[in-house]
Amino acid sequence: MLDMKFVRENPDAVKENIRKKFQDAKLPLVDEVLALDAEFRALKKEGDELRAGRNKLSKQIGALMGQGKREEAEEVKRQVTASAERLAAAEARCAELEEKIRTIMMTLPQIIDPSVPIGKDDSENVEVQKYGEPLVPDFEVPYHTEIMERFAGIDLDAARRVAGNGFYYLMGDIARLHSAVISYARDFMIDRGFTYCIPPFMIRSDVVTGVMSFAEMDAMMYKIEGEDLYLIGTSEHSMIGKFIDQIVPEAELPYTLTSYSPCFRKEKGAHGIEERGVYRIHQFEKQEMIVVCKPEESPLWFDKLWQNTVDLFRSLDVPVRTLECCSGDLADLKVKSVDVEAWSPRQKKYFEVGSCSNLGDAQARRLKIRVKGSEGNYLAHTLNNTVVAPPRMLIAFLENNLNADGSVNIPVALRPYMGGAERITPKN
């Protein structure tokens, strides 16, 4: 969320940023919020003057009564009553204006970093670099659910009977592989100096609106009926929420946390052949990383975070590439974002397996996450990135480590989590 003072002083820059994000429908909101802000500040000033005048008049009443000037005192009382009525009306209007301003400010997009490429949607994202050789084997690579079925490792039919579409049962070696990847990712991040955390899997609405836009909230979040609780779509939500309404000592920064959680998503609009199986689902597990830091340190941490994901996938023999997200593909709270995509030998293309985002002070402003510095308090910067999110990650892992006989190689780094096995062999 932008600072109202910044919008007031830089309306043209705010409008230009909206144009760069191809959200021209929001342009009138800038002038609207400026008009509301002007009215709010004028009323607030009037309210302050009314309070001061009321206090002054109240003192006069006592003095007049002490002098026996009852009629004059009664007249002053009438003035105080009229002043109180005007003040009440001004305060009510101020509260109304404040809510309208907040609603609009929650809708205006964050100012994007100057380095972000300008483009309408993800088709205009820019490839930054490839890591590893994207190979296509000389045998046919089956669809990922077919690979899993050969290991008796997935049961989608039973999941549909129990929960409907978008759910799954993982079984046997595939289930173990899933857990092994999560455990390996946890230790990988701990070895890189991050503190391991298991957060709440439900959060209140003030945290939800603090970490994401209204549009994202509607498309993703499941609400618990009758309670002010939402199931998390990613542990980033509760991890950043951990610092809500906190003033943290500057000396303790940065906070670097890695968290495990199940994730729950509506996945509105999900469709298409590559979204069958376990690519787009309502429930999955994920290892996440977040950073809360000083503003000047967030660009450095941004590069460190996405590099962690690249290094993890390469340690599992999965080729990946990084894509710089263009302006139109950035969620409103994001300043800059890089997607990590894994190579799919079956599709002969890359697909998204992680996303790294620098949100600047957007979440901190909404959640009131402040830093106590030597020269006063200031807003922190927050960043997040996917370490690994199986079972989607399993698609890339199985396809890239599949052998012609149907067996799957286990990379050296993962073997301690798979009982020392060098490969797993199909049951069917």
With respect to residue 85, please indicate whether it lies within any of the assigned structural domains.
Answer: yes
pLDDT tens for the chain, 428 residues long, are 899 999 999 999 999 999 999 999 999 999 999 999 999 999 988 888 877 766 676 666 666 666 777 777 667 677 777 777 888 888 899 999 999 999 999 999 999 999 999 999 999 999 999 999 999 999 999 999 999 999 999 999 999 999 988 899 999 999 999 999 999 999 999 999 999 999 999 999 999 999 987 777 777 899 999 999 999 999 999 999 999 999 999 999 999 999 999 999 987 655 543 456 888 889 999 999 999 999 999 999 999 999 999 999 999 999 999 999 999 999 999 999 999 999 999 999 999 999 999 999 999 999 999 999 999 999 999 999 999 998 889 999 999 999 999 999 999 999 999 999 999 999 87
With respect to residue 218, please indicate whether it lies within any of the assigned structural domains.
Answer: yes
Q: How far apart are CA 182 and CA 407, in angstroms?
A: 21
With respect to residue 165, please indicate whether it lies within any of the assigned structural domains.
Answer: yes
The last residue of a domain, from among 105, 137, 152: 105
Residues 234 and 91 in one domain: no
The pLDDT value recorded for residue 279 is: 83
The reported pTM is 0.89
Largest CA distance in the chain: 108
First to last CA, the chain: 53
User: What is the residue type of 49?
Assistant: E
One-character DSSP codes across 14-64: HHHHHHHTT-GGGHHHHHHHHHHHHHHHHHHHHHHHHHHHHHHHHHHHHHH
Residues 131 and 96 in one domain: no
With respect to residue 114, please indicate whether it lies within any of the assigned structural domains.
Answer: no
CATH number at residue 36: 1.10.287.40
Residues 101 and 128 in one domain: no
Residues 75 and 135 in one domain: no
With respect to residue 333, please indicate whether it lies within any of the assigned structural domains.
Answer: yes
Measuring CA to CA, how many Å separate 428 from each of 213, 263, 409, 419?
46, 31, 17, 22
The pLDDT value recorded for residue 72 is: 75
The pLDDT value recorded for residue 46 is: 86
User: What is the residue type of 351?
Assistant: F
Centre a 10 Å sphere on the Cβ of residue 82 and count the other Cβ atoms it contains: 12
Q: Select from 287, 401, 260, 423 the least CA-distant residue to 353.
A: 287
With respect to residue 110, please indicate whether it lies within any of the assigned structural domains.
Answer: no
With respect to residue 111, please indicate whether it lies within any of the assigned structural domains.
Answer: no
The last residue of a domain, from among 41, 76, 105: 105
The pLDDT value recorded for residue 276 is: 65
Residues 138 and 185 in one domain: yes
CATH number at residue 158: 3.30.930.10
Residues 97 and 168 in one domain: no
Q: How far apart are CA 203 and CA 212, in angstroms?
A: 13
Measuring CA to CA, how many Å separate 160 from each of 144, 277, 282, 321?
18, 12, 12, 34
Measuring CA to CA, how many Å separate 35 from each of 97, 140, 371?
10, 63, 31
Reported residue count of the chain is 428
Measuring CA to CA, how many Å separate 58 from each of 29, 49, 64, 84, 212?
42, 14, 10, 11, 48
Residues 150 and 97 in one domain: no
> In total, how many domains does the chain have?
2
Host domain of residue 51: 4-105
The pLDDT value recorded for residue 61 is: 65
